[in-house]
Amino acid sequence: MTATAQISIDVAAIVANWKMLRRQVSADVAAVVKADCYGLGVRAIAPALVAAGCKTFFVATVEEGLGVRDLIPASCTLFVLGGPTPGEPCTVFLEHGLTPVLNSLGQIEAWGKAARARGRGAAPAALHLDTGMCRLGLHAAEVERLVATPRLLEGIASTLVMSHLACADEPDHPKNEEQRGVFHTLSERLGLSAPRSLGASSGIFLGPAYHFQMVRPGVALYGVNPQPERPNPMVPVVGLRAQILQVRDVDSAMTIGYGASHRFRAKGRTATVGIGYADGLFRSLQGRGRGILLGSEVPMVGRVSMDLTTFDVSALPLDAVQPGMWMELIGPRQTLDDFAWQSGTIGYEILTGLTQRPTRLYTEAP
C-alpha cells in the first residue's frame, strides 16, 4: 500500500553534502540530527553519516539522545544541546553516554556535582556561551563568575566551547562579526584548551574565520540552501509528490473547496490531489502554491484541506491530465526553498512539518 503523498529522502545526497563540507572546511564537521534529522528519519541517516566518517552528533533533548545513542557507536560523541533540564537527574546522561551542553551556571553546578558523586573522574561536557542570541548560554557576567569560582568546573572535562550565530544567513549583517568578536573574547577569558565551535550551516559559509575547531551543520546536510541570496551549493535531498485523484471541468459558476475562496472566471479544469495539511502542507500556500505537472507549473487554487488540494490545470492539453498521475511539489523543477517561500516559511519548518502519513522512500547510501 502506498499513500497518495510520497516523500523521497536521498540518504546518499545527505552523505554527499556532509563530505562536501568536510572537504571545504579544515575544522571537524559534526552533524546536527535533532528533531529526527529535521523530520527525515535519524534511523536511516545517522548510521550512513557514521559510515562516512562523522564522529560528533548533536540532538536537542535527552529523549532524542536516548533514541540516537544506539544508532551510533559508543566512540562517537553525542551532545545534547539543551543539557539537563530542571528536575532531570544528570545520571541519565552519565548512564547513557550523553554529553550535555551546559547553558547556565545552574547546569554547570549540577553536572559537576553529579560527576564528583559518581567518582569516576571528570565527566565531559560542552560549555555554551551566549554571544548575542539571548536564548541559552552563559553571558559575559556569568563567564566572569565562572572564572572567579574555579570550583564550579571541578569534576567537569570541558571538551567543547560553543556559541550560536543569530544572523549567519545574512552574510553582510554586522551582528556576525560582533558575535565572532564576543566569542573570541569570552572563550579566551575562560582560558580552557577545549576546541571551539561557532558556525552552523550558514555560519560555515561566512568563511574560515567562523570555523574554529568544529562546525555544526544541520539543515545544509538535508539540502536546504544555507546562503539564501546565492545559488544553493548543497545537493537536493528531499522530494515531495502527490497523486491526482480526480480531474474535473469547471466553469465560472463554480467555486473551489472550503470557504468557496476561489472562483473560476471562465471554463477551466482542475486536478484534485491527495495531499493536505495532515501530510504537512501549509494552509498558507493558498494563493501562492504551485505544482509541477508534465513539466509545467500549475497554480494551486482554493484552500489546502486536510487530505486534498486542488490545482488549476486548464493550461495543459485536454486529456493530458489523468487520475493516477503524480504532481511534483518538491523536486528537480521546484526546490524545497521555493516551496518554503510559497508557504511563507523556511525550509527548516517545511522539513520538520512533514508528517508520518505520506509514504517515505529512502534511497540508501551506496
Ligand X SMILES: *Cc1c(COP(=O)(O)O)cnc(C)c1O
Catalytic center residues = 34, 258
Q: 3-class secondary structure for the chain?
A: CCCCEEEEEEHHHHHHHHHHHHHHCCCEECEECHHHHHCCCHHHHHHHHHHHCCCEEEECCHHHHHHHHCCCCCCCEEEECCCCCCCCCCHHHHHHCCEEEECCHHHHHHHHHHHHHHCCCCEEEEEEECCCCCCCCECHHHHHHHHHCHHHHCCEEEEEEECCCCCCCCCCCHHHHHHHHHHHHHHHHHCCCCCEECCCHHHHCCCHHHCCCEECCCHHHHCCCCCCCCCCCCCCCEEEEEEEEEEEEECCCCEECHHHCEECCCCEEEEEECCCCCCCCCHHHCCCCEEEECCEEEEEECCCCCCCEEEECCCCCCCCCCCCCEEEEECCCCCHHHHHHHCCCCHHHHHHHCCCCCEEEEECCC
**Closer to ligand X by Cβ: residue 202 or 305:** 202
- Least CB distance to ligand X at residue 32 (A): 4
The residue range among 170-178, 211-219, 315-323, 333-341 that interacts with ligand X, by the rule CB under 6 A, is 211-219
- Least CB distance to ligand X at residue 28 (A): 14
Cell numbers found for residue 235 = 545537493
**Closer to ligand X by Cβ: residue 220 or 244:** 220
Question: For ligand X, how many residues bind (rule: CB under 6 A)?
Answer: 11
Question: Rule CB under 6 A: is residue 217 a binding residue for ligand X?
Answer: yes
Beta bridge pairs of residue 312: 270
Pairing state between β 123-128 and 196-197: unpaired
Please identify which residue in 14, 46, 143, 200 interacts with ligand X, judged by CB under 6 A: 200
Question: Rule CB under 6 A: is residue 334 a binding residue for ligand X?
Answer: no
**Closer to ligand X by Cβ: residue 124 or 302:** 124
Question: Rule CB under 6 A: is residue 65 a binding residue for ligand X?
Answer: no
Cell numbers found for residue 354 = 512533514
Contact 72, 57 (CB under 8 A): yes
- Least CB distance to ligand X at residue 36 (A): 13
Question: Rule CB under 6 A: is residue 165 a binding residue for ligand X?
Answer: no
Please identify which residue in 9, 15, 21, 164 interacts with ligand X, judged by CB under 6 A: 164
Question: Rule CB under 6 A: is residue 32 a binding residue for ligand X?
Answer: yes
Question: Rule CB under 6 A: is residue 40 a binding residue for ligand X?
Answer: no
Please identify which residue in 33, 76, 114, 219 interacts with ligand X, judged by CB under 6 A: 219
- Least CB distance to ligand X at residue 347 (A): 9
**Closer to ligand X by Cβ: residue 268 or 353:** 353
Question: Rule CB under 6 A: is residue 31 a binding residue for ligand X?
Answer: no
Question: Rule CB under 6 A: is residue 131 a binding residue for ligand X?
Answer: no
**Closer to ligand X by Cβ: residue 219 or 244:** 219
First to last CA, the chain: 26
Please identify which residue in 83, 218, 276, 331 interacts with ligand X, judged by CB under 6 A: 218
Question: Rule CB under 6 A: is residue 216 a binding residue for ligand X?
Answer: yes
- Least CB distance to ligand X at residue 276 (A): 27
The residue range among 188-196, 217-225, 229-237, 299-307 that interacts with ligand X, by the rule CB under 6 A, is 217-225
Contact 80, 98 (CB under 8 A): yes
**Closer to ligand X by Cβ: residue 114 or 167:** 167
**Closer to ligand X by Cβ: residue 216 or 262:** 216
Please identify which residue in 201, 309, 334, 343 interacts with ligand X, judged by CB under 6 A: 201
The residue range among 149-157, 218-226, 261-269, 335-343 that interacts with ligand X, by the rule CB under 6 A, is 218-226
Contact 39, 222 (CB under 8 A): no
- Binding positions for ligand X, rule: CB under 6 A: 32, 34, 81, 164, 200-201, 216-220
